Each structure stands twice: as structure tokens, then as C-alpha cells.
Structure 1
Amino acid sequence: MEKYEKLAKIGEGSYSVVFKSRNKDTGQIVAIKKFMESEDNPFIKKIAVREIHMLKCIHRDVKPENILITKQGIIKLCDFGFARMLTSPGEDYTDYVATRWYRAPELLVGDTQYGAAVDIWAVGTVFAELVSGQALWPGKSDVDQIYLIIRTLGKLISRHEHVFRNNQFFLGVTIPEPDSEDMEPLEDKFPNINPHALAFMKSCLKMDPENRCSCEDLFENPYFDLYRDENEKSRQWLDGRNRKRQQLLPQLPGNNGSSAPDPRKQVRQQRLDHLPTI
């Protein structure tokens, strides 16, 4: 930590604080998470190792605050405090995870059997927020959140309705049913959006988690074709520019190259051209 200068606090969790910091040697701006308890605490060590080495996991708290982007345009996901390793199908997980606005329907109703599709849903809500500049469904409570989702995407699937009715937390609570004229599908929420962007959003925001796209599908989504083409053109342009610069540079003496002409020798030779050859 000695080689980093703290600039500002940018986030705080249950066990740690995230600081915007600067590398004193290189000037690079980075985000550093510092645990508030002693690093010798076994529980804190377990969390730290878990965050660093987590693979094949459900993040369960994808939201704008946990998505970082470098100057080189590399996206990085941070804060794996709610992450959980994927195990066998049917495994029970806790339902109290994720920030409400980005929480999938199965989490909102209290389903404990879910998978990576909860992160795909969160990606869809974050994407919508990037497009519009505001949260897609800013619910004030879990029930309000469910209502806002239903108002856009329609009814819950039967399994989620069953889980909601049998959840003790929602005992005596019913979800309001929006009138047909109050419905606001994604097409109405984003009337001027690029068709590929709308399709990308819809592929993430499916009520049934089984119908949501996979991470592999997201990478291949046509929405990114334009950016892939632009990146390829930029790479080709840079390659061509570098080749042109190499051609314009004078060749230095070497084993395989000829020496650049010495202008002093050329001038000296021109001055002696009038003398007879002996």
C-alpha cells in the first residue's frame, strides 16, 4: 500500500472500504479494496481469497457500482462478497442477495433454487440504465419491484407465483395487477433505441430464467458486431500506420541493412569532382 496514494473513498461494504488511489511511481489510477478488520482475521482472509480466486460462480450483485472500466476499455467486475460457487442443479442458495433494482424475479419472490441467470438479468437492467441514464425499475420495496417488472414484462411464471404465495415473508401480501392501459413494455420505454440493443436487452430480461440467454450468447450477440467491426478497422489502421512509419524511418547500420548515406561525404566528394584522377 506504500506505493499508492489514496485520493477518495468511492465505496463501502460490510467488511471493506474501496478507495480511489494513484500509483506514486506510474501515476496510474486504481481502485483498492481495504478490509476494515485486521487482515490476520481468518474470516477476512477467507473473504479475500474467495474474491481473488472465485471461478465458475454466481456473482449475485451485478450493478453499476460493481462494474469498472480501464482506460484501455477493459471491463472488470468487482466485489464478490455475495458470490457463490455453482454446484449441482437443484442446490439451495440464499435469496437475500443483490441490490433490489437489479434483482431477478426469482430472487424477489424468495426462490432458493436459481443459477447464473440471475446475473444475466442484472446485466440486462444495467444495460437499460446505461441506455437511458436512469434505473429501469426503481422499486421502493420488493413487492413494488415485482409490480414494476410485471408492468413491463407481464405476469410471473407459475413457479415464481407459487414461491411468492408460500413465502412467509409475504404472508397476507398480494401483488397488484396493473391495468392493460398501464402496461409499459420495453418497446414503449425505449422508443428510439437501436433494434439490436432492444433485442439484447430483451434476451436478458426474460421472466423465465430458463429462457434468458447465456454468457456465451451475450458475447456473440449481433449488437456488438458494429463495435467488433470498428475495433478491427482501428487495429488495421494502426498496423498500416506503423508499417508506414517504419518505411519512412532511415535504416540504421546492421548486419542485414545498408548504412544511411553520410551527407558530409557527399559534399566532400562534390568539392573534389573537378580534380583530375591520378
Structure 2
Amino acid sequence: MNKFEVLGIVGEGAYGVVLKCRHKDTNELVAIKKFKDSEENEEVKETTLRELKMLRTLKQDNIVELKEAFRRRGKLYLVFEYVERNMLELLEEFPTGAPPDKVRSYIFQLIKAINWCHKNEIVHRDIKPENLLIGSNDILKLCDFGFARNLSEGTDANYTEYVATRWYRSPELLLGAPYGKAVDMWSVGCILGELSDGQPLFPGESEIDQLFTIQKVLGPLPAEQMKLFYNNPRFHGIRFPSVTHPQTLERRYQCIMSGLMLDLMKSMLLLNPTERFLTEQSLNHPVFQPLRQVEREKSSPASPNPPRSSKRKTHHHGENTVPTRSHTKSSSRRSTSKECSSLPRHGDLHHLSNESFLNGNKPAPSSLSPTLHPKGQYLSQTLNRSASSSKDLANNNLPHLLSPKEPKGKTEFDFNLGPSAKLSDQGHGAKYGHSKPSSSRSQQQQQQLQQQQQQ
């Protein structure tokens, strides 16, 4: 801690305190989570080590970044990036609900963070406004993995009885039933409602009241969950009042939420966890289409230059200037023919896997490297061998046309379109063959003229 200056306390919890600090050398602001004596308390020790392990596994734009961890005098310190505020403070700023565009952006980012957790078989289990950090640039960060659980570590799904703040707990958690990734999605649905009108969706005062509050909006629990309730010793002798006319989410958020957003919310708040939307279904919901489009545009490579006019200048080979009749055809094919369909175009990005935007990973350049059809030699006629033309080719990410065996200054291209023109079989980025003087179009025409004169 000697290299940090403590500026204040950000928050306190059951396991320790979070401090706002400044690095003395770099002046960087950080948040340091200082745990209680973990060596003496086994529960604290287990929680701290679990969070440390999770955060080292999870690296994603919408998950708070763990910068370093160290131990001093039996206490564990986790150093995080500093984020200005959490969602509770945002809700105070918007007491009647945040603007719809902000709501959509925050929920989209939150689901992306959870998606990355679930891909690593990690369930957060404590998603609530206090654990959602909001930066000055409106970037959301999921934090506090003290209650998180790795599903791959055991087969017993009935993990911990108490997880998640009550208002954001799913029915299966409240009932002590086996659970999985769907519990996180229920929490997202609750947060979506709270962001939209500024009020918690299910503000139960106890576990019993929480279950009843859920039913007052969504209707009676399914038969299997009701059976679990009556068989649970904690709820022995308790009966719910009948709910014949639930409020419904439609009536609750009428004129507050768009139809598409309401549809997503209903899919995340289904009482039966097996029917509830998970992360990939949610991210692909039509309500997020504009945000997916923005991400595709950010991850797409630079667009190739538009096709040039079909009227081409003739190519010069030494002293002879030979017009090529097929230039018009070949140039018109550049944007329409199947031979060029493998070149990266903006539209092709729609067919990339969901993981491309879902994971913030940009497609590797090699994945967009075109596999050229032999007829792709028509492209060679449209290329100018000047230095500026070579620069344009490099910017368009087209395959290299120069043979690695030949120096640039001595390289010539084969413009012969006859059957003898062959493409080297090298897969992606295959090289064009080099021309021989005897196969030039000018020499062929001279031979034809000599034959006609002899006849």
C-alpha cells in the first residue's frame, strides 16, 4: 500500500472496505478492495480467493478490470480500475427512470458482461445496481464477484442458500431449488424495470413477501415451484393468497417501455427458468439491432475503394501499347461476379458469428483473406504497377501479387487470359504467375500478321 495514497472510502461491506486511491508514481486513480483478516476467517478467505480467481479468468470490456493483487499482514488487497459511480447513483439522478436509449445501452452492456461470464461457466449470482459501475463515458462495468460460482467445479447445482439481494432474486433461488445461468437473467429483467421507471420491480420485505410480490405481477408460480414451496420446511404452514388478476408487465410499463423492450423483459422474467431467455438469445433480440449494427461497423475493416469506371486506360508493356478487349467485362465483374464474392465487404460482416460482437473481438485479418477463383486473374488487368497503385492495393487488403522470389523492381505480371494462365495452388493469398516474353499479347499479334502476309 506504500505506493498508493488513500483519498477516501468508496463503500463498505461484510467482507471489507473499498478505498479510492491514487498511485503516487503515475497519478492513476484506482479502487482498492481491502478484505478483513482472511487468515483467521475461513469464510472470508474462501470468498476473497474465489473473487480473485474469477477476476483473473474474466477479461472483458464490461467487467471491471483487476489490475493487481497483493497481501499485507494477512489481508488481501485487490486493485481495480476506478469507475466514477454505480447504478444506484444513476437512479438517484433519474428518479422517474433513465432515458430509453440509456436504458437500452446499459442493459445491452450488462448482458454482454454476463454472456462472457456464462461462456466461462461462471454465474455471478449477485447482480444488483450497487454492483454495476457507470463510467463518465456511459460504459457499464460489472463488479463484485464474491458470490460468483464456477458451474464446472461440481455437479451439485444447489449451491448457496443465500445469494443475491432479495429484490433481484429469482423464484428458484427463493425456493432453494437447483439453479443455473438463468438466475442472472432474472436479475437483468428486474434491473431493466427499475431503470425504466425508477422503482424496484419486486420490492419484497421478506422471502415470503418476495415470492408473493412476484406473483402479484406475473401470476401464480408454476405447479413444480408451488410444490417446492409447500415442501420447504421454512415455509411450513404458509399459504399464498390467490392471485386471479395479476398486474402484468404490460400494464405496469404501459407508455413507459417500448413494445420490443417489453418483449425482451418478459422473456427474461419467465417464472420457469428453463423457458427464460439466456444471454445469446437476449443479445440477438430485435431491440438491440441498432447497437449490434454500431458494433459491426466498429469491428469491420476499412472498406475497399469503390469500383472504378469500366473504361480503362491501356496497359503499357515495354514499347508496345496493346489494348485488351476484355477490360470492360473484367472491370464490370469486380463488384458483381461470384469470383470476387470472397473479398471482404461490409455486407459480409452480417454473417460473422455472434461471438464477434458478442465478445468484443474483432475478426482476425486472416479470416477475411480472400480465396481467389482462377478467373480472379481478370483483376490483374485493372491494376496499375505505379507506386501509388501499389499503395492502394495495400490499403484494400488485397492478396499480394508479387512473388516472394522476385525483387519488386524486376516483377512483371502475366496478362495472358488464355488457358495457359495458371494460379499457383497456395490457398489464401495465392500468387499470380509471372509472364514470359514469348507469351505477351503483342508478340502473338505480330506472329498472326506475319502468317497473314505469307498467305
| In 2: Cα distance, 1:163 partner to 1:225 partner | 39
One-letter identity of the residue aligned with 2:32: I
Listed one character per residue, the Cα deviations across residues 42-91 of structure 1 (whole Å, up to 9, x for unaligned) are 76554333212225222111101111233454432222222222146663
Partner of 2:331: none
Structure with higher RCO (Cα < 8 A, 6+ apart): 1
1:187 aligns with 2:187: no
- In structure 2, the partner of 1:221 is 285
Question: For 1:173-224, what per-residue CA distance to the aligned partner results, in whole angstroms no more than 9, with x for missing partners?
Answer: 11222342xx211111111211221122111101000011112222222222
Structure 1 residue 127: Cα displacement: 1.5
Q: Once the 2 structures are TM-superposed, how far is the Cα of residue 11 of structure 1 from its aligned partner?
A: 2.6
Equivalent positions of 1:1-278 (< 5 A) are: 1-24=1-24, 28-37=28-37, 44-54=44-54, 55-87=120-152, 91-111=157-177, 113-180=178-245, 183-192=246-255, 193-230=257-294
Show structure 2 runs of 5+ residues with no match: 55-119, 304-386, 388-455
Partner amino acid for 1:156? L
2:76 matched residue in structure 1: none
Could you tell me which residue of structure 2 aligns to residue 275 of structure 1?
Answer: none
Counterparts of 2:42 and 2:230, CA distance in 1: 40
Look up the equivalent residue of 2:237 and give its one-letter code. G
| Structure 1 residue 31, shift from structure 2 partner | 2.9
The residue type paired with residue 97 of structure 1 is V
Q: Deviations over 1:14-57 (max 9, x none)?
A: 21112334445555544321112257977655433321222522
Larger CA Rg, structure 1 vs 2:
2
Q: Is the CA contact (8 Å cut-off) linking 1:147 and 1:177 kept in structure 2?
A: no
Question: In the alignment, residue 35 of structure 2 is paired with which amino acid?
Answer: F
Paired residue type of 2:275: N
- Alpha carbons of 1:145 and 1:44: their partners in 2 closer, same or farther (altered >3 Å)? closer
- The 1:62/1:27 distance shift into structure 2, 3 A limit, reads same
Identity of aligned residues (%): 44
Number of residue pairs aligned between Structure 1 and Structure 2 = 237
Q: CA deviation at 1:159?
A: 1.6
* 1:109-157 deviation per Cα after TM superposition (whole angstroms, max 9, x unaligned): 222x111111110111112111111211111111111111111111111
Q: Which amino acid aligns with 2:248?
A: P
CA distance in 2, matches of 1:41, 1:144: 33
Q: Secondary structure at the residue paired with 1:210?
A: coil
Question: Structure 1 counterpart of 2:171, which letter?
Answer: P
Distance in 2, Cα, partners of 1:200 & 1:81: 28
Q: Taking structure 1 as reference, are residues 16 and 174 closer, same or farther at Cα in structure 2, changes over 3 Å only?
A: same
TM-score normalised over the length of structure 2: 0.47
CA RMSD of aligned residues (A): 2.9
Q: Which residue of 1 is the match for residue 307 of structure 2?
A: none
Cα distance change, pair 129–42 in 1 and its aligned pair in 2 (3 A): same
Distance 1:138 1:229, change over 3 A: same
- Aligned-partner Cα distance in 1 for 2:176–2:201: 21
3-state DSSP of counterpart to 1:211? coil
> Secondary structure in 2 aligned to 1:125?
helix
Between the aligned partners of 2:200 and 2:148, the Cα distance in structure 1 is 23
CA distance in 1, matches of 2:41, 2:237: 43
